[in-house]
Amino acid sequence: MYAVTLDGFGEPDVMKWAQVPDLPAPGPGEVVIEVTAAGVNRADLMQRQGFYPPPPGASETLGLECSGVIAAVGPGVRDWQRGDQVCALLSGGGYAERVLVPETQVLPVPEGLDVAAAAALPEVAATVWSNLVMRAGLHSGNLLLIHGGGSGIGTHAIQVGRALGARVAVTAGSDAKLERCRELGATVLINYREQDFVTVLQSEYPGADIIFDNMGAAYLERNVEALAEDGQLVIIGMQGGVKAELNLAALLGKRGTIHATNLRRRPAHGPGSKGEIIAELRKHLWPLIAEGTVVPVVSAELPISDAAQAHRLLDSADTVGKVILRIE
């Protein structure tokens, strides 16, 4: 079969579409998916650069989500059969013609959605739902602040927040991105190049009940300042660095909570696992997607041979939402 391989670490051009060994037959509880499309995520860019190795036992091939058709099922698999149209959350391997995945990490393509477009869902949906709903308990009336509102995760989180009755504030680096965030349901729009998000929030609100943060160290102090009493800061990324000083007095004064989470290294089964999250998505989020309340936001779709350009697009300040790669 063919897959994207890395000719060392570095710029996007280190990626090559090349022949690789075929997958083994699926084992107990596993399925093989013939890939139609793969989502591109920032974690893929980091892995390509050598900064984010896959967990032990995971595929070295890039790609944390895909969509396609079940090609084979292993012993004991009951919920899936050959020919089913699905999408899946992966620990790696999505940039390939076929991928091997535990059946518990597979979801049906939502009703009415194109198979390729479904590749934009599993990673962002699992990240948003597990953190905002399962961990932070997002509910109606909350003020949710999302950093990076124009990203794939940001555009999805806006829609989930609005669907659950929250007020949504976002930061983004351009007015064009903020306008797209407004169309998706955000009501507090903050251009971080021109405005301080703490000042904007505190001018109208007592603070954010939940802050969804992709920046890490660079925003830690101001995020704590922007929290409402009993607020929760949920850190999912480190684009602004990994080390910062925390003022515990400020956090104590807010009775605040900080969560730092990672999706890729969760186990496949058991409490807190990928399988548990996928089950929650199918039960609670997939109906919202089927009815059109939450939709995948896809900025560009490119052939897998243009993986380098897809990475450049995702890294561009102009891209809103997801980039997906279609397997030719």
Dump pLDDT digits (tens) for 212-223. 999 999 999 999
Distance of CA 184 to the CA centre of its chain: 17
Does residue 290 lie within any of the structural domains?
yes
**CA distances to 60, 79, 147, 176, 279 from 29, in Å:** 21, 10, 37, 45, 15
Choosing from 260, 285, 310, the residue where a domain stops is: 260
Does residue 265 lie within any of the structural domains?
no
Regarding whether 117 and 134 lie in a shared domain, the answer is no
Q: Residue 208's pLDDT is what?
A: 98
Assessment of whether the complete model's pTM goes beyond 0.75: yes
Regarding whether 111 and 140 lie in a shared domain, the answer is no
**Res. 323 pLDDT band, cuts 50 70 90:** very high
Number of domains observed in the structure of the chain? 2
235 is in which domain, residue-wise?
130-260
CA–CA separation, 23 and 79 (whole Å) = 21
The pair of structure tokens assigned to 178 is 């903020």
CA–CA separation, 159 and 79 (whole Å) = 29
Check the CA dihedral 298-292-155-33 and report its sign: negative
Asked whether residue 184 carries a pLDDT value surpassing 90, the answer given is: yes
Regarding whether 108 and 23 lie in a shared domain, the answer is yes
For residue 235, the domain's CATH number is 3.40.50.720
Closest by CA to 30, choosing from 93, 99, 96, 84, is 99
Q: Residue 328's pLDDT is what?
A: 82
Regarding whether 150 and 100 lie in a shared domain, the answer is no
CA–CA separation, 145 and 207 (whole Å) = 9
Does residue 147 lie within any of the structural domains?
yes
What average pLDDT does the segment 37-55 reach? 96
Regarding whether 307 and 224 lie in a shared domain, the answer is no
Residue 38 DSSP SS3:
strand
Regarding whether 150 and 30 lie in a shared domain, the answer is no
Regarding whether 233 and 187 lie in a shared domain, the answer is yes
Q: Residue 303's pLDDT is what?
A: 98
Does residue 289 lie within any of the structural domains?
yes
CA–CA separation, 297 and 120 (whole Å) = 8
Choosing from 260, 283, 308, the residue where a domain stops is: 260
**Res. 59 pLDDT band, cuts 50 70 90:** very high
111-141: per-residue pLDDT in tens?
999 999 999 999 999 999 999 999 999 999 9
Does residue 266 lie within any of the structural domains?
no
Regarding whether 135 and 116 lie in a shared domain, the answer is no
Q: Residue 27's pLDDT is what?
A: 97
**Res. 10 pLDDT band, cuts 50 70 90:** very high
Choosing from 260, 290, 305, the residue where a domain stops is: 260
Q: Residue 171's pLDDT is what?
A: 98
